[in-house]
Structure 1
Amino acid sequence: MPVALRLNQRRIGQVRVWEDPVVGPTDEQLRHAATKLKAALDAIDRVHWERVYIDNYPRGACGHCAELLAFHLNRSFGVVPDYVCRVFYGDDGERLSSHAWLELHGLILDISGDQFGWPGVIVTRRSSLHERGREEERHRWALDPGWWGQYCAGIWRAAEVLMSGEAGASTS
């Protein structure tokens, strides 16, 4: 396990940012964290998802999932990934959909690809699935308190209970 030299920490709102070079988490540690969050999100009842305007989770929830995963990785490891969104087109050039995920130092982290029939957790350095997208929008993740409060906070609270492994945990 790498040793993290976490010096000169500062906070921007609720987000931790490490200003000095850090030996961060391994790809496997990130995969484990992504898998744990995905399992919790999959276990959350439909009512919670409907409250944040997702009627058929995971379909349409990629932005929510990317935000939740970024928050989880920041809290767990102090990392701040990039939020990436690309548009996907069919062979005929017609727009099919858009999709959002995270990237951290060249590692793709996607916990909502199952809405397209892809694996539910993708943590990899190269993905032909993601490379098909065009018209990329990319920015460093930053917590937006207003958006988070409206679209993610309730889901996060339910996921946090499930990830804690509390006996009899409920998302109701």
Structure 2
Amino acid sequence: MNIFELRKHASDFRLALERLDWGSMPANFRQFPAGTCGDISDILAEYLYKQGINDIDYVSGSADNQQSHAWLEVSGYIIDITADQFPDCSDPVIVTDDHSWHQRFEESARRPAGFLDGFKSTDNMTLNITRDLNIVYKAALAYL
């Protein structure tokens, strides 16, 4: 997988997300991109899997000022389509092997990305999260 393909897929997906009526989406997504980085990263991962991209890591971390953030990593490339929620980042899509901006977030979790195969629990909270992720995922796919 090369950086140009990753950037195209990430950009296409971000454009699809920008077309959504966020007021009709589940409440925890309505401030997109703010506060949605973890969920959007898992949703983007499902789209990337569908494009034939594998071995995608979900990475999250926290900064000294108690801010947290999440993004994807594939073969050493960062894929981040929500970094523009931060005042010092105006790029809606980041696909890079330069980790300098993301290094401010001390890594607290790394796991296989995605949600369709990962959430096996049957408790109500997990089922509700999976339902909400599916709503946004399917809505975005309608624009791709």
**Normalized against structure 2, the TM-score is what?**
0.84
1:48 to 24, 27, 30: 24
- Assess if the C-alpha contact under 8 Å between 1:73 and 1:80 holds in 2: no
1:39 to 15, 19, 25: 15
What is the 5 A alignment of 1:1-150?
25-49=1-25, 51-90=26-65, 95=66, 97-117=67-87, 118=89, 119-143=91-115, 144-145=118-119, 146=127, 149-150=130-131
**Residue identity in the other structure for 2:19:** A
Structure 2 portions without partners, runs of 5+: 120-126
Q: How well do the aligned residues superpose, as a CA RMSD in angstroms?
A: 1.7
Provide the identity percentage: 30
- Assess if the C-alpha contact under 8 Å between 1:48 and 1:154 holds in 2: no
Structure 1 portions without partners, runs of 5+: 1-24, 164-172
**Secondary structure of the residue that 1:128 maps to in structure 2?**
coil
**Residue identity in the other structure for 2:130:** G
Q: Higher relative contact order by CA 8 Å / sep ≥ 6: 1 or 2? A: 2
**Residues 80 and 120 of structure 1: CA distance in aligned 2, closer, same or farther (over 3 Å):** same
- Assess if the C-alpha contact under 8 Å between 2:43 and 2:114 holds in 1: no
Larger-Rg structure:
1
Q: What is the number of residues matched between the two proteins?
A: 133
Structure 1 CA distance for aligned equivalents of residues 76 and 56 of structure 2: 10
**Residues 114 and 142 of structure 1: CA distance in aligned 2, closer, same or farther (over 3 Å):** closer
